Amino acid sequence: MFQIKRICDISAGHIGGPKCRIIAQMCPEITVTVVEVNGSR
């Protein structure tokens, strides 16, 4: 079995950003990166 160490959410938007925030808070051992591809946001 493998262990997740990193998560990258591309195009965070209204759902992805808060979702990744919760993952980062609940799983501090996982590195969470959020990338927004739309420069106007």
> What does the pLDDT read at residue 41?
59
C-alpha–C-alpha distance, residues 35 and 33, integer Å: 7
pTM, to two decimals = 0.73
> What does the pLDDT read at residue 11?
84
Domain assignments of the chain as residue spans, ordered by start: 6-35
Q: Residues 11, 38: contact at Cβ < 8 Å? A: yes
Q: What is the pLDDT of residues 1-41, one digit of tens each?
A: 899 999 999 988 888 889 999 999 999 999 999 998 887 75
> What does the pLDDT read at residue 5?
97
Q: Is 36 exposed, middle or buried (0-12, 13-18, 19+ CB in 10 A)?
A: middle
> What does the pLDDT read at residue 12?
81
